[in-house]
Amino acid sequence: MANQTDTLNHFVQAFNQHDLNKLMACFSDDAVFVSAYGPPNGQVFSGPDEIRSYFSRFFHSTHNAHFGQESHYVSGDKGVSEWTLTGTMEAGAPVRVRGCDLFTFRGDKIVRKDTFLKQTG
């Protein structure tokens, strides 16, 4: 990965392929991921094992999870990714949410990913 924008594009591609190895290659060894859910400001997952476990569970419970309509913005060591997430829950209910991730980078690796979203119907 050459730069942070490439990292974000690689992250989305790996996410859409549900490829945990490629996804985890985007994160530093000391990365932190803050999910959109959990009190009071999202649940925190620290390090590769916890982050991998989160995404493994997410892909298992949200079939066909896919980021679309994404755009990325990077300035210095900060980045924003806007997206629409679609998929199907295990029980068959469709998912469609609009959201964004706030990123902090060290070089071309993600050291922090903080997710925000809203239901779109």
The closest of 43, 47, 21 to 34, measured between CA atoms, is 43
Amino acid at 37: Y
Q: What is the CATH number of the domain that holds 78?
A: 3.10.450.50
> What is the domain extent for residue 16?
4-119
pTM of this prediction? 0.91
The closest of 25, 115, 15, 121 to 67, measured between CA atoms, is 15
Check: CB of residue 109 under 8 Å from CB of residue 25. no
Residues 6+ apart with CB under 8 A from 108: 1, 2, 3, 4, 6, 7
Mean pLDDT computed over 97-119: 94
Structural domain count of the chain: 1
Tens digit of each residue's pLDDT (9 = 90 or more) over 26-75: 999 999 999 998 878 889 999 999 999 999 999 999 989 999 988 999 99
Tens digit of each residue's pLDDT (9 = 90 or more) over 76-96: 999 999 999 999 988 888 989
